[in-house]
Amino acid sequence: MTKHEVTLHINGEDRTLVIRHADTLLDVLRLQCGLTGAKPGCENGDCGACTVIVNQLPYKSCIMLAIEATGHTIMTIEGLKHSPIQRAFAKCYAFQCGYCTPGFIMNAHAMLLHDTSIDEPTIQEWLESNICRCTSYEEIASAIRMAMSTMNANLPDNSKPNSPST
């Protein structure tokens, strides 16, 4: 088994790790970095429980090699602190068992990084990337709407969606 030293930029820190080229990002995050927020679910790219953000886009870390992420900015749920989407998930009770929650939050956070005036079809399209076996979908969608309103309320007036200058 050949191992190689790589440096990954995770949650604002450079982490030098010794990995196999065949290691998935999910395995490296969980087993080597101790970042167990990204969850192994299907490990097949279907359920989204392992979603992390790489360069501001959501990725399923079970279908990405860790070595592919070198030179990119990785954010896991552990790197997300006091964000509107986290508070909204808690306020809306947007979880039951909680296993899928980190993946949903990372996906929703990435969506809100892109735009804070997202329509319903777009929310539905993004949410279809993740599966919640407890079927909390309505509450999750509510949490996204709540986070979106919070973020829009905090924007300067001329940057708000539908403001005369936008």
Partner 1 sequence: MIPIDFQYVAAQSVAEAIRQYHQFSTSDMSTRYYSGGTEIITLARLHQLTMDAVIDIKPIPAAQVCSIVEEKLFLGAALTLSQITSHPMMSRAFPLLQVAVNEIADRTARNKITLGGNLCGDIIYREAVLPLLVCDSMVRIAGPNGAKEESIHRIFRRTMQLKPGEFIVQIATDKIYRCAPFFHVKRRKMGKVGYPIVSAAAIRLQDNIHIALSGVCSFPFRSRTMEDWLNQKHLPVHQRIEEAIQIIPPELILNDYEASREYRRFVLRTVLEETLHQLGSA
Separation in Å, CA 133 to CA 29, 48, 94, 95, 97: 24, 12, 13, 10, 9
Which window, 7-15, 81-89, 125-133, 143-151, contacts partner 1 (CB under 8 A)? 125-133
As to burial, measured by CB atoms within 10 angstroms (0-12 exposed, 13-18 middle, 19+ buried), residue 62 is buried
Q: Is 134 in the site for partner 1 (CB under 8 A)?
A: no
Which window, 52-60, 85-93, 147-155, 156-164, contacts partner 1 (CB under 8 A)? 52-60
Instruction: Provide the β-strand partners of residue 17.
Output: 6
Nearest to residue 41, comparing CAs of 61, 55, 25?
A: 61
Q: Closer to partner 1 by CB, 40 or 79: give it.
A: 40
Which of 8, 10, 17, 27 binds partner 1 (CB under 8 A)? It is: 27
Which of 8, 10, 64, 100 binds partner 1 (CB under 8 A)? It is: 64
Separation in Å, CA 86 to CA 1, 25, 45, 90, 147: 40, 23, 23, 6, 8
Q: Is 72 in the site for partner 1 (CB under 8 A)?
A: no
Least CB distance from residue 91 to partner 1, whole Å?
25
Which of 10, 11, 17, 24 binds partner 1 (CB under 8 A)? It is: 24
Q: Is 59 in the site for partner 1 (CB under 8 A)?
A: yes
Q: Rounded distance, CA 52 to CA 109, Å? A: 10
Q: Rounded distance, CA 76 to CA 155, Å? A: 25
User: Which residues here bind partner 1, judged by CB under 8 A?
Assistant: 1-2, 20-24, 27, 43-45, 48, 51, 57-60, 62-65, 67-68, 107, 124-126, 128-130
